[in-house]
Amino acid sequence: MQLTDFDFLLPDELIAQVPAAQRDASRLLCLDRKSATVESKQFVDILNYFQPGDVLVVNDTKVIPARLLGQKQTGGKVEIFLVRKVPGATTTNEWLCLTKSSKSLRVGTTVDFSPEFSAEVLGEMEAPYRLVRFHCPGDFMQMVEKVGHLPLPPYIKRDDSQEDRSRYQTVFACEEGAVAAPTAGLHFTTEILQQLIAAGVEIVNLTLHVGLGTFLPVRVDDICQHKMHAELYSIPDATAQAVNSAHKDGRRVFALGTTSARALETAVTDVGVLQSGAGESEIFIYPGYQFKIVDALITNFHLPKSTLLMLVSAFAGREFILSAYRQAVIERFRFFSYGDCMLIL
C-alpha cells in the first residue's frame, strides 16, 4: 500500500491545542464494524457500549518531563531530550538522547540545567541519538521532575504549562518512561473507571513506554518498507490470565489506545494466547494484519499518513476509517492528543 492511501484533509483549527474543560467532556465517535454505522456521542456514553464480562486493557505508562533546557559553558542554549535509559550502563544516569543547539554538540561538551544538575555528551550513537551522562545529587528522576518540561507533541503550538502536568497524564499513570501520553486514556476519570467495574467490566493493566516513533513521519512511499522504532513493554501475569480467560469464554477484550493494542498484539502467540513478560515491541500494524487479541479499540483521531492511522485502518478497514474521519471533520470533532475520542466495535 502507498503512503498517500492514508492521507486526508484536516483544517488546522481542528487540531486541539488544549484539553477539554474536563477529562470526560470530550466527544465520542462510535464505529460498528459489523453494521458499518457511525454514531456521534459524548464520551460519557461509552459506558453504554460495555457488557458485563468485558475486559478493558489500559496502558499505565507515565510521561516524564523529557525536555531539558540548559546551556553550554560558553552560554549557548541547548535542549536535551531524554529518549530512553541505557540498559546495563555503568551508571543509572546514562541515556540515549536527542540534542538541539545552534552548533553540533561535541563529545565531552557539558550542559548545565541548574547549579546542581548537568549533563556530559559521551558519544554519538546511531543517528540521530547521542549518549549522555547526567550528574546530580540525589535521585535523578526527582531532578528531572523539578527542571524538565513535558514533551508536548509538535502539533501543539505552545509551551507546556502547569496544567499539562496533570492533563497530559492518564489517571492511572504510574510507570515512568514514556515521552508521549497514551492519549486515548486521557478521557477516562476515576469515576468512569469505577462505574465500569461496578457494571462487571474487568480492568487490567500493561505498560508500553511510548517513544518518539509515535511522532516520526513515514518517509517511504511503500509503507511495507517502514521500520518501527522499538518501545519497551511489560505485561503482568494477571493481565495475561484475564485476557486469555476472556477469549476462552468468548468475552470481549477492549484495548484502550493503540499502545495497548500494539503491546497485546506483540505478545500474543500465533494461536491467540497472550504471554506475560517484558520485551521490546517493533510491530508495525497496517491493513492486511489479522488481530489475534483485540476485539474492540478505543482511540483518538490520528495524523494523516501516520502509522497509528494505519493501525486503526487495519482494525476497521481503510475506507471505513477514512469515511469516519471525513464525518468527524464535517462535525468539527477535535483531533490528536488533546482531541476527541473514537470507539471501534
- b or e along 128-141 (b: 16 or more beta carbons within 10 Å of the residue's beta carbon)? ebbbbbbebeeebb
What is the model's pLDDT at position 112?
A: 95
What is the model's pLDDT at position 225?
A: 94
Q: Which of 249, 246, 250, 82 is closest to 178 using CA atoms?
A: 82
Question: Do residues 252 and 55 lie in contact, with contact meaning Cβ atoms separated by under 8 Å?
Answer: yes
Which grid coordinates belong to 86? 541505557
Relative orientation angle of helices 258-267 and 307-316, to the nearest 10 degrees:
70
What is the model's pLDDT at position 92?
A: 67
What lies within 8 Å, CB to CB, of 299 at 6+ separation is 184, 257, 258, 308, 312, 341, 342, 344
> Per-residue confidence of the chain (345 residues) as pLDDT tens digits?
899 999 999 999 999 999 999 999 999 999 999 999 999 999 999 999 999 999 999 999 999 999 999 999 888 999 999 998 887 665 668 999 999 998 888 899 999 999 999 999 998 887 788 999 999 988 999 999 999 999 999 999 999 999 999 999 999 999 999 999 999 999 999 999 999 999 999 999 999 999 877 767 899 999 999 989 889 999 999 999 999 999 999 999 999 999 999 999 999 999 999 999 999 999 999 999 999 999 999 999 999 999 999 999 999 999 999 999 999 999 999 999 999 999 999
- The secondary structure of the chain, three-state, reads CEHHHHCCCCCHHHECCCCCCCHHHCEEEEEECCCCEEEEEEHHHHHHHCCCCCEEEEECEEECCCEEEEEECCCCEEEEEEEEECCCCCCCCEEEEEEEECCCCCCCCEEEEECCEEEEEEEECCCCCEEEEEECCCCHHHHHHHHCECCCCCCCCCCCCCCHHHHCCCCCCCEEEECCCCHHHHHCCHHHHHHHHHCCCEEEEEEECCCHHHCCCCCCCEHHHCCCCCEEEEECHHHHHHHHHHHHHCCCEEEECHHHHHHHHHHECCCCCECCEEEEECCCCCCCCCCCCCCEEEEECCCCCCHHHHHHHHHHCHHHHHHHHHHHHHCCCCECCCCCEEEEC
What lies within 8 Å, CB to CB, of 225 at 6+ separation is none
Which grid coordinates belong to 159? 509551551
What is the model's pLDDT at position 217?
A: 86
What lies within 8 Å, CB to CB, of 319 at 6+ separation is none
Location of C-alpha cell 457500549: 49
Residue ranges and CATH numbers for the domains of the chain are 3-63+164-344 (3.40.1780.10), 67-147 (2.40.10.240)
Distance between CA atoms of residues 342 and 45, nearest Å:
12
Which grid coordinates belong to 268? 500474543
What pTM, to 2 d.p., does this model score? 0.94
